C-alpha cells in the first residue's frame, strides 16, 4: 500500500475552485492524498489556486505537470473537448487518471484510453459515479426483483438553461472568480449531453444495464448567448433527443436541451406494468434505504458542506484503488458506454440512421 497519493489538479476553473481544490485541501484526507501540483493555461490562475489552497507547484502548462515527477495521479477538470488528449498523455507517463465527466467525446477515444491504460497498468476512474448512491442501488434491486413488472419505457435528461453564465464563480474580478464559460457552448465537448445529461444516463444504464441501439435528432437551437455583456457564438448542439433501444421493445428517451426538463436531474423515471419509479418514490411511496439515500462513502464531516462532493467521492475512489488495490464500481467501461450513446446519437442525427451500439459494461458491486 502506498502511504500518500500525490495528485495534480488539471484546470483551476469552476469545478476545481468550488469543489475539487477545497475538498482535497481538507485536513482529514491528508494521510491518504495530497495535492502536489495544479495547472491552468490562464496566466496567473494556477499560481493563485496554489497560493489559496497551499499547493507546492503551479504550472501554466499541462506538459510541465506531467513531465515534472510531482504527481502519481491527476484529476482532469479541463474543458471536456481536451480530456482525451490529456488523459492519453497521463497514461503514457504511467500516471493514474480521474476524469471529470465526460472521459472523452467519442467511443473510439474511450476505447483507446482503456486499452492504453491496461497496457501501462494505469487505473482510470470516470465520473460521475452515480451508482455509488444507495438509492440508485436499491432502485436497481427493485427493478430486478420485478417491483415494476414488465418494463415499458424510461426517460432521463437535463437542460442547460443559463446555469453556467450565472454561476457566482464567474462574476468576480480576480483570476479565480472571472472564469469564462464559453467552451460549454462550442465544439468540441460542449453541449448539455456531455456536461449534464451524463448524470442521468449513468444512472439509467447503471440501473437498467447497457442499451443496444440509438436513433436521434439534434441541432443548435440557441446560436448566441450573453456573458457579462459580451455575446458568445454557439456552434455545439444544444437540443438533442435520443431514443434508446434496450431490446425486446423496451425503450428509453434521453434528452440534452437548451431549456425545459421532464424529469429530475440525474434520476431516470422508469415505467412498468406495475407502476413507476420517479426520483426516490415507487408508485408515490418513498423508497426506503438504510441511512441517507444519497450518502457517499467519503463525503463525511466538512465534505458535506463543500460543493461538488460527488466529484470528490470519485477522486477518492481512485485514491483507494491506488493505495489498496481495491477496484471501484466507477468504471471507465461504464463511462465508455454512456459516451458511445452520445457519440452515436450525434451520428444518427447527421445520417438519419439508427446506430447499433458496440460497447457494453458489467455492473460491479451493485448487481
> Is the Cα dihedral 94, 318, 46, 112 positive or negative?
positive
Alpha-carbon Rg for the chain, nearest whole angstrom, is 20
Residue found under cell 464531516: 301
Neighbouring C-alpha atoms within 13 Å toward the C-beta of 97: 36
Q: What is the pLDDT of residue 363?
A: 82
The mean of the pLDDT values for the chain is: 96
Measured in degrees and rounded to the nearest 5, phi and psi for residue 157 equal 165, -175
97 and 302 in contact (C-beta within 8 Å)? Answer: no
The bridge status of strand 213-219 relative to strand 239-247 is: antiparallel
DSSP string, 325-352: ----SS-HHHHHHHHHHHHHHHHHHHH-
* pLDDT tens column, 290-339: 877 778 999 999 999 999 999 999 999 999 999 999 899 999 999 999 99
* pLDDT tens column, 93-102: 999 999 999 9
Give whole-number Cα distances, 313 to 32, 266, 267, in Å. 13, 16, 18
* pLDDT tens column, 44-72: 999 999 999 999 999 999 999 999 999 99
* pLDDT tens column, 234-274: 999 999 999 999 999 999 999 999 999 999 999 999 999 99
pLDDT at 1 over 70: no
Delineate the domains of the chain, giving CATH numbers in brackets.
5-129+298-324 (3.40.50.720), 130-296+332-356 (3.30.360.10)
Amino acid at each position: 500500500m502506498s502511504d500518500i497519493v500525490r495528485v495534480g489538479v488539471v484546470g483551476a476553473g469552476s469545478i476545481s475552485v468550488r469543489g475539487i481544490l477545497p475538498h482535497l485541501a481538507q485536513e482529514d484526507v491528508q494521510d491518504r492524498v495530497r495535492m502536489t501540483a495544479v495547472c491552468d493555461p490562464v496566466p496567473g490562475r494556477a499560481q493563485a489556486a496554489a497560493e489559496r489552497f497551499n499547493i507546492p507547484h503551479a504550472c501554466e502548462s499541462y506538459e510541465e505537470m506531467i513531465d515534472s515527477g510531482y504527481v502519481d495521479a491527476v484529476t482532469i477538470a479541463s474543458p471536456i473537448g481536451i480530456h482525451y488528449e490529456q488523459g492519453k498523455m497521463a497514461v503514457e507517463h504511467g500516471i493514474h487518471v480521474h476524469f471529470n465527466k465526460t472521459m472523452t467525446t467519442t467511443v473510439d477515444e474511450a476505447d483507446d484510453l482503456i486499452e492504453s491504460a491496461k497496457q501501462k497498468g494505469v487505473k482510470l476512474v470516470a465520473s460521475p459515479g452515480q451508482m455509488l448512491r444507495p438509492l440508485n442501488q436499491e432502485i436497481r434491486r427493485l427493478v430486478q426483483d420485478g417491483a415494476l413488472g414488465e418494463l415499458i419505457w424510461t426517460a432521463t435528461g437535463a437542460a442547460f438553461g443559463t446555469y453556467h453564465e450565472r454561476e457566482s464563480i464567474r462574476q468576480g474580478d480576480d483570476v479565480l472568480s472571472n472564469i469564462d464559460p464559453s467552451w460549454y457552448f462550442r465544439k468540441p465537448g460542449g453541449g448539455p449531453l456531455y456536461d449534464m445529461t451524463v448524470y442521468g444516463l449513468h444512472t439509467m444504464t447503471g440501473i437498467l444495464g447497457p442499451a443496444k441501439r440509438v436513433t436521434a435528432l439534434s441541432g443548435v437551437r440557441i446560436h448566441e448567448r450573453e456573458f457579462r455583456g459580451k455575446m458568445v457564438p454557439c456552434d455545439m448542439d444544444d437540443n438533442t433527443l435520443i431514443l434508446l433501444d434496450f431490446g425486446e421493445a423496451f425503450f428509453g428517451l434521453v434528452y440534452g436541451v437548451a431549456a425545459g426538463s421532464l424529469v429530475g436531474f440525474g434520476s431516470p423515471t422508469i415505467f412498468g406494468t406495475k407502476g413507476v419509479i420517479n426520483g426516490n418514490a415507487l408508485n408515490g411511496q418513498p423508497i426506503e434505504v438504510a441511512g441517507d439515500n444519497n450518502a457517499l462513502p467519503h463525503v463525511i464531516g466538512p465534505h458535506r458542506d463543500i460543493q461538488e462532493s460527488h466529484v470528490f467521492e470519485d477522486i477518492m475512489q481512485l485514491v483507494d484503488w491506488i493505495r489498496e488495490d481495491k477496484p471501484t464500481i466507477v468504471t471507465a467501461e461504464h463511462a465508455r458506454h454512456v459516451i458511445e450513446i452520445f457519440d452515436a446519437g450525434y451520428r444518427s442525427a447527421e445520417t438519419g440512421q439508427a446506430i447499433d451500439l458496440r460497447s457494453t459494461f458489467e455492473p460491479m458491486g451493485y448487481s
